[in-house]
């Protein structure tokens, strides 16, 4: 074994040394709650849990297994068996001390469900919904029936309340029927199968399983709290759950998005968005508790809403996940391991029952998912892969078992048996799934879809999340709003309109501003495709100097600034207003200059676009925007490549017929074909680029030139001579799409 693999093991003896120190420090003290012990417990659980989690990941197992094993090692199963005095000193069973760590674990449950919800991709469920729902129903019914039957025949000694056997049986059925979305998604993602058809079905089915499971658990919690089968209370819980879900995914979805955006845009304190997310989780958890179901359902739904927010930046997402993964996960799962006393499995009858539980859980889930996959139209190999993936219980099972133990549905021995089953099925899942997915054939349609998605992953337009539209009251502002609306409508992402006219709040200006906003919203809604629906548009007025206003907005995470102002170019440079805007926004710019017929009709029915290409990255960015605008707004698209007089290979390229020029034009054609856009390509040799572009404008019916341009480092804003010439001399509208950073060396290619 390599030394790099052994290094995390060093955390275990170090933790044991800390245990000894803590035991000595606490020896002879009173049994009251101790902050020192709490910190010691947390340090031990994090250190050992993360260390073993690292080892598990390196051998192809989920890190949660290591965190569970950390609790088992530090608990009565191992450490308490070897050194019971020290283990009892560090993890005393006094109610006061135990309550301190339990409180952190309870918060950890909510945060884990928040994280699980954030990882729930409802779009994925919709995409493969019919097959996933059919598979999920079969995959739940069979193991649920097996678990319920097992609960009905369990010895009374394993039940904390024999008179509530029905509740325990329902709980067992639910525990055996759902899978761990997190474990399934991690393994599928590690094998690069997340975007494959079967991978999407596996994850979508796990999502549906989890969602149904948490709803059932919430209802069972209500049933357990009543003590008997009270139809009225159960009906209240079910109805309350349905109403809660309906409101959450309608009004709640929009409210969550508005809260996150408001916090991101208006609060200046550190981690304001994370604070709002945690408050949202807490409020929704309290609502579900108030209607008589468990708080985990509220946290789970809050996570789904947060994950769907279109402005949840990668940085915020990673910081929140980092807090949960590094602190709450090892503490919660470590505490679950502490609660599981595996020494009871030395009893042959309990060991046999645990083995029977593992077999029933595996056969029930595997068989149900396999049958569901077959009925759902999957091949035998795909059904085997699905059944293998769905058998992992992992973190979900442990959370459910912990809830069952806390509400008195599960006894300590039954809890240990379920945790053991979760560990065994989770460790068996990765190698089984890898074997089932190996060499799974790919259809032609699936290959084409994957190629397109891979292309979009590297693209510019496909990765936009939040554009900012800066406008005044001009006609050019209306045309810029039309352009921004077309781009936003393709993906359904929100648009923020910033009015950068005069600061004086004159009525006429407010009316002009509202008119621009209204046109932008109408354009977006009219051109939204698929299931994007209407696009959210908010407005802001300039309240400070222009540069300061743009700088304030830039800090809010916008990834594209579309500028539409009355005057774009001055005598020999850009207008001062454009330069002030560009100086304070470091990201990509889209500068709009309406000309020709767009001055009379700033919201045209179609756009006939010309896009020059050169093979550079920024040129491809311009081509992407042109294709997106053509697809959204109809019209035509022409692509021109100019082999300049400065190109030493121009003559050779022309004589060869096929060369660099043909390759660049083919790339543009392939880009358009991916989005079902027809294009016309033109090659011009031995001409200055600006002359060739202007000549193409004069001889064709284009009404918009889209150019991908680099910012050039200079004492003023510059995109190079070609862009400057086209902007000033073109008789049709121009859209310059710039890179985010200035280049040191000017480029004379479009």
SS (HEC) of 168-185:
HHHHHHHHHHCCCHHHHH
Domains of the chain in start order, with CATH, are 94-437 (1.20.1530.20), 456-593 (3.40.50.620), 605-750 (3.40.50.620)
pLDDT value, residue 561: 92
Whether 281 has a pLDDT exceeding 90, the answer reads yes
Query: Each residue of 164-196: pLDDT tens digit?
Result: 788 888 888 888 887 766 667 666 766 667 667
pLDDT value, residue 562: 93
Among 601, 594, 616, 622, which Cα is nearest to 704's?
594
pLDDT value, residue 651: 44
Q: How far is CA 654 from the centre of its chain?
A: 48
Q: Is 617 or 246 the better-scoring residue by pLDDT?
A: 246
Whether 524 has a pLDDT exceeding 70, the answer reads no
pLDDT value, residue 495: 83
Q: Which of 19-33, 199-213, 368-382 has the lowest mean pLDDT?
A: 19-33
Q: Encoding tokens for residue 431? A: 């190698």
Whether 87 has a pLDDT exceeding 70, the answer reads yes
Whether 1 has a pLDDT exceeding 50, the answer reads no
pLDDT value, residue 513: 53
Per-residue pLDDT averaged across 281-310, rounded? Answer: 84
Q: Is 627 or 119 the better-scoring residue by pLDDT?
A: 627
Whether 525 has a pLDDT exceeding 60, the answer reads no
- CA distances in angstroms from 323 to 96, 108, 240, 268, 585, listed in the order given: 26, 10, 32, 21, 31
Query: Each residue of 268-280: pLDDT tens digit?
Result: 777 788 889 999 9
Q: Is 174 or 394 the better-scoring residue by pLDDT?
A: 174
Per-residue pLDDT averaged across 700-705, rounded? Answer: 92
Whether 20 has a pLDDT exceeding 60, the answer reads no
In sequence order, what E strands does 517-625 have?
Answer: 537-541, 560-564, 589-593, 607-613
Distance from C-alpha of 558 to C-alpha of 560, rounded to nearest angstrom: 6
pLDDT value, residue 635: 82
Whether 588 has a pLDDT exceeding 80, the answer reads yes
β-pairing, 589-593 vs 733-743, is antiparallel
Q: Which of 338-352, 556-570, 653-667 has the lowest mean pLDDT?
A: 653-667
Distance from C-alpha of 410 to C-alpha of 419, rounded to nearest angstrom: 12
pTM: 0.69
Whether 591 has a pLDDT exceeding 90, the answer reads yes
Q: H helices of 271-379, where?
A: 272-290, 295-308, 314-323, 329-339, 348-375
Cβ neighbors of 745 (< 8 A, separation 6 or more) are none
Per-residue pLDDT averaged across 321-344, rounded? Answer: 82
Q: Is 28 or 519 the better-scoring residue by pLDDT?
A: 519
Whether 747 has a pLDDT exceeding 50, the answer reads no
Among 496, 526, 686, which Cα is nearest to 606's?
526
Distance from C-alpha of 597 to C-alpha of 493, rounded to nearest angstrom: 29
pLDDT value, residue 532: 46
Q: Encoding tokens for residue 422? A: 């979760």
Whether 24 has a pLDDT exceeding 50, the answer reads yes
Whether 227 has a pLDDT exceeding 60, the answer reads no
Q: Is 16 or 283 the better-scoring residue by pLDDT?
A: 283
Half-sphere exposure of 90 (CA within 13 A, CB side): 29
Q: Is 185 or 720 the better-scoring residue by pLDDT?
A: 720
pLDDT value, residue 634: 75
Q: Is 609 exposed, middle or buried (0-12, 13-18, 19+ CB in 10 A)?
A: buried
pLDDT value, residue 530: 40
Q: How much of the chain is helix, strand and coil, in % rounded to 5? A: 65, 10, 25
Q: Which of 149-153, 214-218, 615-619, 697-701 has the lowest mean pLDDT?
A: 214-218
Percent of the chain with pLDDT over 90: 10
Distance from C-alpha of 261 to C-alpha of 272, rounded to nearest angstrom: 10
Q: Is 456 or 387 the better-scoring residue by pLDDT?
A: 387
Distance from C-alpha of 451 to C-alpha of 470, rounded to nearest angstrom: 35
pLDDT value, residue 507: 42
Write down the mean pLDDT value for the chain.
78
Whether 512 has a pLDDT exceeding 80, the answer reads no
**DSSP annotation of 587:** S
Q: Is 18 exposed, middle or buried (0-12, 13-18, 19+ CB in 10 A)?
A: middle
Whether 83 has a pLDDT exceeding 50, the answer reads yes
Per-residue pLDDT averaged across 492-499, rounded? Answer: 82
pLDDT value, residue 440: 75
pLDDT value, residue 313: 61
Task: Give 660's pLDDT tier (boundaries 50, 70, 90).
Answer: low
Q: Is 652 or 443 the better-scoring residue by pLDDT?
A: 443
Q: Encoding tokens for residue 274? A: 């994370």
Whether 112 has a pLDDT exceeding 70, the answer reads yes
Distance from C-alpha of 478 to C-alpha of 426, rounded to nearest angstrom: 57
Q: How far is CA 429 from the centre of its chain?
A: 24
Whether 705 has a pLDDT exceeding 90, the answer reads yes
Per-residue pLDDT averaged across 222-236, rounded? Answer: 65
Residue 279: how many other CB atoms lie within 10 Å: 13
Percent of the chain with pLDDT over 70: 80
Per-residue pLDDT averaged across 205-228, rounded? Answer: 70
pLDDT value, residue 17: 54
Whether 734 has a pLDDT exceeding 90, the answer reads yes
Q: Is 290 or 505 the better-scoring residue by pLDDT?
A: 290
Q: Residue count of the chain, please give it.
A: 750
Whether 522 has a pLDDT exceeding 80, the answer reads no
Residue 475: how many other CB atoms lie within 10 Å: 15
Distance from C-alpha of 559 to C-alpha of 740, rounded to nearest angstrom: 9
Whether 573 has a pLDDT exceeding 50, the answer reads yes
Q: Encoding tokens for residue 432? A: 């089984």
Query: Each residue of 529-570: pLDDT tens digit?
Result: 444 446 777 777 777 788 888 888 888 878 889 999 888 887
pLDDT value, residue 283: 94
Among 547, 439, 542, 558, which Cα is nearest to 496's?
558
pLDDT value, residue 328: 86
Whether 230 has a pLDDT exceeding 50, the answer reads yes
């Amino acid at each position: 074994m390599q030394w790099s693999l052994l290094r995390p093991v060093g955390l275990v003896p170090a933790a044991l040394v800390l245990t000894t120190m803590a035991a000595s420090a606490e020896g002879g003290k009173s049994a009251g709650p101790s902050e020192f012990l709490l910190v010691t417990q947390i340090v031990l659980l994090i250190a050992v849990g993360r260390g073993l989690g690292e080892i598990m990941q390196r051998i192809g197992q989920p890190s949660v297994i290591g965190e569970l094993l950390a609790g088992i090692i530090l608990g009565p199963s191992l450490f308490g068996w070897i050194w019971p005095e020290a283990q009892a000193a560090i993890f005393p069973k006094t109610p006061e001390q135990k309550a301190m760590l339990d409180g952190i674990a309870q918060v950890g449950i909510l945060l884990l469900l928040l994280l699980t919800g954030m990882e729930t991709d409802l779009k994925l469920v919709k995409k493969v919904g019919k097959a996933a729902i059919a598979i999920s129903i079969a995959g739940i019914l069979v193991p649920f029936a097996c678990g319920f039957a097992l609960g009905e025949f369990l010895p009374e000694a394993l039940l904390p309340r024999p008179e509530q056997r029905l509740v325990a049986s329902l709980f067992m059925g639910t525990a055996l029927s759902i899978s761990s979305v997190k474990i399934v998604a991690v393994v599928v993602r590690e094998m690069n199968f997340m975007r494959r058809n079967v991978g999407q079905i596996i994850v979508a089915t796990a999502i549906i399983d989890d969602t149904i499971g948490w709803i059932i658990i919430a209802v069972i919690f209500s049933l357990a709290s009543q003590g008997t089968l009270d139809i009225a209370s159960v009906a209240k819980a079910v109805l309350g759950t349905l109403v809660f879900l309906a409101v959450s995914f309608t009004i709640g979805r929009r409210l969550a998005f508005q809260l996150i955006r408001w916090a991101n845009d208006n609060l200046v304190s550190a981690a304001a968005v994370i604070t709002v997310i945690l408050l949202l989780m807490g409020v929704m958890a309290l609502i579900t508790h108030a209607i008589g179901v468990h708080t985990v359902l509220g946290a789970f739904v809050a996570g789904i809403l947060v994950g769907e927010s279109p402005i949840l930046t990668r940085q915020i997402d990673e910081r929140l996940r980092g807090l949960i993964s590094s602190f709450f996960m090892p503490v919660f799962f470590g505490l679950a391991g502490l609660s599981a006393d595996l020494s009871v499995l030395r009893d042959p009858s309990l060991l046999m029952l645990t083995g029977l539980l593992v077999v029933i859980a595996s056969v029930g889930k595997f068989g149900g998912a396999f049958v569901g996959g077959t009925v759902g139209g999957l091949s035998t190999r795909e059904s085997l892969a699905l059944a293998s993936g769905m058998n992992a219980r992992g973190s979900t099972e442990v959370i459910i078992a912990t809830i069952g133990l806390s509400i008195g549905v599960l006894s300590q021995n039954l809890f240990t048996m379920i945790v053991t089953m979760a560990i065994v099925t989770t460790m068996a899942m990765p190698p089984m799934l890898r074997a089932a997915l190996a060499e799974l054939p790919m259809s032609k349609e699936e290959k084409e879809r994957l190629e397109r998605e891979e292309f979009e992953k590297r693209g510019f337009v496909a990765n936009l999340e939040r554009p900012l539209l800066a406008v005044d009251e001009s006609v050019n502002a209306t045309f810029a709003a039309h352009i921004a609306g077309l781009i936003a409508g393709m993906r359904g992402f929100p648009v923020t309109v910033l009015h950068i006219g005069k600061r004086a709040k004159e009525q006429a200006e407010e009316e002009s501003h509202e008119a621009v906003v209204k046109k932008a919203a109408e354009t977006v809604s009219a051109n939204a495709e698929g299931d994007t629906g209407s696009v959210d548009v908010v407005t802001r007025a300039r309240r400070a100097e222009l540069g300061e206003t743009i700088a304030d907005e830039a800090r809010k995470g916008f990834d594209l600034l579309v500028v539409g102002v009355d005057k774009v170019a001055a005598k020999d440079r850009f207008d001062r207003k454009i330069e002030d805007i560009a100086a304070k926004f470091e990201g990509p710019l889209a500068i709009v200059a309406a000309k020709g017929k767009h001055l009379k009709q700033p919201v045209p029915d179609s756009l006939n676009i010309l896009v020059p290409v050169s093979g550079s990255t920024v040129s491809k960015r311009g081509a992407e925007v042109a294709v997106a605008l053509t697809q959204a707004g109809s019209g035509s698209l022409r692509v021109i490549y100019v082999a300049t007089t400065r190109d030493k290979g121009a003559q050779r390229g022309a004589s060869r017929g096929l060369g660099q020029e043909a390759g660049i034009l083919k790339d543009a054609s392939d880009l358009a074909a991916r989005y079902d856009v027809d294009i016309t390509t033109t090659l011009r040799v031995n001409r200055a680029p600006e002359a060739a572009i202007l000549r193409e404008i004069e001889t064709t019916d284009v009404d918009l030139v889209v150019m991908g341009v680099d910012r050039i480092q200079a004492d003023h804003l510059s995109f190079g001579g070609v862009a400057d010439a086209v902007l000033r001399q073109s008789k049709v509208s121009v859209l310059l799409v710039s890179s985010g950073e200035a280049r040191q060396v000017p480029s004379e290619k479009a």
